[in-house]
Amino acid sequence: MTKNDVAIFISYSGTTAGLTGMAKKLKKDSIPSLSITQNSNNVVAKNATLNLFIPLEEKEVRIGAISSRTASLVVTDLLYYGVYKHDLENNKNKLYETKNLVSQLLK
């Protein structure tokens, strides 16, 4: 990655081993990054350039991660749509091209 790229880290806890190491490395290398984590002072968020926080609702011990997963999906969908709309016509053409390529691969 270069300084013209942006890494996106998605981790509710912000303490996932592989992501924390990468977040630290990118910060050291001055490569921009965006974190989507719980609203806490976690390692990934501390090392990211910009943070989008998911509400801190889930308990330490939980049966499932329904609310955090849903909140993370909403945030990533909004980011996707935000980037997509900046070059609507070109991105629409790319989606059709990708759909056609996938259709050819499935034959």
Hey, what domains does the chain have and what are their CATH numbers? 7-105 (3.40.50.10490)
Q: How far apart are CA 72 and CA 82, in angstroms?
A: 15
Tens digits of residue pLDDT in 7-23 = 999 998 999 999 999 99
Judged against a pLDDT cut of 70, whether residue 91 lies above it is answered with yes
pLDDT at position 55 is: 79
How far from the centroid of its chain's Cα atoms is residue 41's Cα? 18
Q: Position 13: which residue type?
A: S
Residue 107 tokens, joined: 């034959």
Q: Long-range CB contacts (< 8 A, 24+ apart) of 97-104?
A: none
Residue identified by tokens 């991105």 is 91
pLDDT at position 10 is: 92
